[in-house]
Structure 1
Amino acid sequence: MDAKKVIVCDDDRHILEVLKLIVEFSGAEVLVEDDSAKLFGRLNEDRPDLLIIDLWMPNLSGQEIISKIRMDDKMKNMYILCLSASDDGEEVAMRAGANQFLPKPFEMTDILQIIENNCRNIRASA
């Protein structure tokens, strides 16, 4: 069975590295992007099973990217986990079309559970 592919996008390189390690620990293939302006091209090229994205980034916000994904017929069903430390982050992320939200700081076990559940759902629908 092929490893599931996860793209992680965050402008904070420390958080990006932590998320990369967590996803690798789960057994999924992980790709990272720290420039939100390049993310949509990466998504089209790499077609991940799961996107983990920060809500507030320079260039394009996670909110803008999520909304754009939901309007794209080829990507609109992608599972999106949005992360943010902002007080209104969950409301903004869910309104944009995220499937799930986690506040920063997050727990490793929460991320692992989301990856496991998401990959199980992908296998079940394949």
Structure 2
Amino acid sequence: SSLIAGYGSTQTSGGDSSLTAGYGSTQTAQEGSNLTSGYGSTGTAGADSSLIAGYGSTQTSGSDSALTAGYGSTQTAQEGSNLTAGYGSTGTAGSDSSLIAGYGSTQTSGSDSSLTA
């Protein structure tokens, strides 16, 4: 399925889905999904997913995922993931991951990882 949500909304999409969220929203996408979050939002994407989050947001992506975070955000990526963090953010990537963090941020990467602060 494909879900495109509006402002101040809550979205939940099934596996192999695409979810695009609006402002001040909460998103949950399951395995094999694509999740694009809006401003001041919370995004959770399942394994084998791609999550692109907005400003002042909190992101959590499953294993074998790619996470791109916005400004002033908190990111958590599991094993085999790629995490690219924004400004003033906190990033945590699992083992076998690549983490590229922005300005004034805190980064923690697992074993066998590449971290660029």
Tell me the TM-score normalized by structure 1: 0.31
Relative to total residues, which structure has the larger helix share, 1 or 2?
Answer: 1
Higher relative contact order (CA 8 A, sep 6+): 1
Instruction: Provide TM-score, normalisation by structure 2.
Output: 0.32
